[in-house]
Structure 1
Amino acid sequence: MAAALAATFSGCSNSDSNSAAPVGAAAPAVPQVGFVTLHGQQVPFVATVPGRTVASGVSEIRPQVSGIIQKRLFREGGEVKSGDVLYQIDDRLYRAALDSAKAAAERAKATVANAQAEFGRQGELARRNVASQQQLDVARAALAQAQADLAGANAAIETAQINLDNTRLTAPISGLIGTSLVTEGALVTANQTSALVTVRQTDPMFVDMTASSANLLRVRKMIAEGTLHQAGPSPEVRLTLEDGSQYREVGSIEAAEANVSETTGTVTIRARIGNPKHVLLPGMYVSATVAVGTGDKGFLLPQRAVSRNAKGQATAMFVTADGKAEQRVLQTQQSYHDAWLVYENVKEGDRLIVDGLQKLRNGEAVKTTEVGLDAQGVAQDATSSTTPSQ
């Protein structure tokens, strides 16, 4: 029994001795990272701002005469041209009024002719001293009255003709027409408050964009300092639609508000853009990219390599000359094709880490491989072998 216990304890002791860690433990592995070499380039300076599409013309159709709607002569939601007849109001009363005005004008013409003849006779008699001056004055006044009545009758004809023409409600502008708020047989009144239908001109289309006053000041400062060269008097505007697709037509800046909103601190800028296929509709949200100009030589850093610290500052990791990771704080100017444009704290030939950033610490030694980024931003080896940094 004693021998067995001794053998048991002896076995336990040998096992513990074999499981002990070796005296010289292996050092932690050096992190492997992929980098791209940065080269300065002139990049178009663009500003991406939100916007809403606005019809370039809006016309609310209201009747200028009262009557019953006889016909609706347009297709709701369709396209109409300037001058197209939209509604026909019962015109029988207005035709009768025009005929009555014409008859009154004929009577006035006859009265004028009679007054002219009477004035002529009285004038001849007055020269012979047969008629008195008073009789001549009465004839002259009667002629003037008849001529005034004729002018009034002609004006009544014009008014009646205008009223008759207004029984045909036409489109004052070309564009897309909405849904009718009245049906055939409805009674409408002259200059009523509610519109019968609305026509919106959508080609061209306006885009109202909002830009912060701070960004406008920054752009003006860059232009004044010569670091930003304007593209021209009217910068190009391109649109990204709500589904992420790019709108084909290219617009230009039309105008800008002369004041800053006190509530939002933004300025409204209006662009004008073609819309021949009516892809854009009033009220659509769009993202507008404005080509302000071309800046001095800068560096494009892939967005996947840039992160934010606790202060919200943009940071990126670089490989130093002695093969260590270095974190730098950057000031990004704008996004451009999935990259950030940076002018400061970066120099020609800097090695930007784009792969292996997980758990990478500032000042840590690294092994590097130069890589390239495909269209999706995925790192691809640019060299066939991995070499430590020198």
Structure 2
Amino acid sequence: MSYFTPNTTNTLKLAALAAATMLALSACNQGGDNASAQKGTEQEAPAPLVGVVTVQPQNITLSTELPGRLESRRIADILPQVGGIIKKRLFQEGSYVRAGQPLYQIDDAVYTTALENARAQLASAQSALAKANADLSRYKPLVEADAISKQEYDAAVAAKRSAEASVKAARAGINAAQINVNYSRITAPISGYIGQSFVSEGTLVSPGGPSKLATIQQTDPMYVNVTQSAAEVMQLRQDIADGKMQSVNGGVEIEIKLENGTLYPLKGRLLFADPTVDQTTGQVTLRAEVPNPDNILLPGLYVRVVLPQADIPNAFAVPQQAVTRGESNSVMIVNAENSLEPRQVNVVQQQGNNWIISDGLQAGDKVVVNGLSIVGMSGAKKVTPQEWTAPGSEAPAPTDMNNTASDTEITSDDADQAASTAQ
């Protein structure tokens, strides 16, 4: 038995249909609100970050690194000037010797004997001269009194002159013998460091022999000879003539980089530049002088010479990754509206990790270093510039939380993380 009448059943169906309709409308309204909220969120997304450097003009000295080898200022090969047996070596190999310091002693018995013989000859000549003077003194009044002939007097005069010549020859013989005795004791001709000895005690040496006994090198200061392309020199002079660069004044200081890349603490100076171009290599030779008081630099050592060549006033140093190289070099800057703006620049030279730019930038320009790939993926028209810090450099002190985004710093790692987040 049914407790509901047909009218009651119809009423229930209508109520159920109305409730379903209300639920459907509520779901549609909620979906529409979510879509509107999502669209608003997309419109309010922040501008992507880009790392920038704010450039300022400065006077930059252009320099070039040229390869070269160190050379002793003076080199002296020790050679015997008399023959004989080496009796003793009087120095320590590798030590510093001073000019005049004894190095070797040659057996001088023969030379001392020759010296004594020369001295005896001098005594004999002096005795003959004394007799000739006495004879001449006696003959002079006799010839005036015609007691002796003129011929005898002339013979006495000739005997005196001969005795005087013999004395001079004997003295010269003593000097020659003394020189040989002195040469038997070989001394250092210059001050410097002496290398290994190529002879030992008991070795027979002779003047003009094929081998040297040792070598002394003066290493303070040192010379370094370098060469530079004549084309580079001509281009530099042309830039100076055109006013793009200013010539460095005289007394140019140079720096030395050792093989391991470290910088030698003492600066040298450029001595001269050869005005003649080598016809074979097209190079110009330059010579510099470097102080070496502690004997750190060694002859024959390969080094690189950092040679300043010209000054560029009002130039800009920009990280290499910020410059797009090609037929026309360009950078991307962030303008006052926080939009990206390309700028053509004139690149002069590389200096470390930077390009030196002479034209195309102004003081305060914010040059983009990284983050352009993020902007390209997002398609954003505005960016948020943040100061960029080179990898490995000391991080700046934390800034106040009220500072704007442009006052903070961004590194290469920050940019990579931001790119991953965007993807």
The two structures share one fold, judged by TM-score above 0.5: yes
State the Cα distance separating 1:123 from its structure 2 match. Answer: 1.9
Q: Is the 8 A contact 1:108 1:150 kept in 2?
A: yes
Answer yes or no: is the 8 Å Cα contact 1:33–1:366 preserved in 2.
no
Matched, 1:333 2:349: yes
- Whole-Å separation in 2 of the counterparts to 1:373 and 1:190: 69
Which deviates further from its counterpart, 69-78 or 107-116? 69-78
Within 5 Å, which residues of 2 pair with 1:2-13? none
Shift of 1:373: 2.1
Deviation, 1:375, is: 6.9
How far apart in 2 are the matches of 1:138 and 1:65?
42
What is the identity, as a one-letter code, of the residue corresponding to 2:181?
Answer: L
- Distance apart, 1:171 and its partner CA: 1.1
Distance (whole Å) between structure 2 residues aligned to residue 307 and residue 193 of structure 1: 63
Secondary structure at the aligned position of 1:35 is classed as strand
TM-superposed CA distance for 1:366, in Å, is: 7.0
Aligned residue for 1:318? Answer: 332
Identity %: 36
- The verdict on how the C-alpha distance between 1:242 and 1:45 changes in structure 2, with shifts beyond 3 A counting, is same
Cα distance between partner residues in 2 of 1:288 and 1:385: 36
Whether contact under 8 Å (1:324, 1:364) holds in the other structure is: no
2:218 to 182, 185, 201: 201
Do the aligned partners of 2:384 and 2:406 also contact (CA within 8 Å) in 1?
no
Aligned to 1:275: 292
When residues 113 and 338 of structure 1 are mapped into structure 2, their CA distance, relative to the original with a 3 A threshold, is same
Determine the C-alpha separation between the residues in 1 that align with 2:224 and 2:384.
Answer: 48
| Inter-partner Cα distance in structure 2 for 1:48 and 1:129 | 94
1:343 is aligned to 2:383: no
CA contact (8 A) 2:347 2:355 kept: no
- How has the CA–CA distance of structure 1 residues 225 and 121 changed in structure 2, closer, same or farther, with 3 Å as cutoff? farther
- Contact kept in structure 1, 2:388 and 2:409, CA below 8 Å: no
Q: Deviations over 1:171-195 (max 9, x none)?
A: 1111111111111110110132321
Cα distance in structure 2, aligned partners of 1:242 and 1:48 = 13
Report the 3-state secondary structure (helix = DSSP H, G, I; strand = E; otherwise coil) of the residue aligned with 1:297.
strand
Structure-2 separation of matches of 1:315 and 1:261: 34
Distance 1:261 1:58 in 2: 26
Q: Distance in 2 between matches of 1:31 and 1:171?
A: 75
Structure number with larger C-alpha Rg: 2
TM-score, length basis structure 2: 0.75
1:243 aligns with 2:260: yes
**Aligned residue runs from structure 1 range 193-272, under 5 A:** 193-225=210-242, 227-272=244-289
Per the alignment, residue 176 of structure 2 pairs with 159
Against the structure 1 CA distance between its residues 70 and 56, is the aligned structure 2 distance closer, same or farther, given a 3 Å change threshold?
A: same
Residue 76 of structure 2, aligned match among 44, 59, 71: 59
- RMSD between aligned alpha carbons? 3.1
**Map of 2:199 onto structure 1:** 182
Is this contact kept in 1: 2:345–2:359, CA < 8 A? no
> Tell me, what secondary structure is at the counterpart of 1:296?
strand
Residue 289 (structure 1) aligns with:
306
Secondary structure of the corresponding residue to residue 146 of structure 1: helix
Preserved contact between residue 372 and residue 382 of structure 1 (Cα < 8 Å):
no
Find the aligned partners of 1:189 and 1:59 in 2 and give their Cα distance: 18
SS state of the match for residue 359, structure 2? coil
- Structure 2 matches for 1:364-383, cutoff 5 A? 367-374=383-390, 376=392, 383=407
2:189 and 2:409 map into 1 onto residues whose CA distance is 72
Shift of 1:128: 1.2
Letter matched to residue 254 of structure 2 = V
Report the equivalent of 1:104.
121
Which secondary structure state, in structure 2, belongs to the residue aligned with residue 331 of structure 1?
Answer: strand
- Structure 1 residue aligned with 2:105, among 83, 88, 110? 88
Unaligned runs of 5+ in 1: 1-25
Moved more, 251-260 or 173-182: 251-260
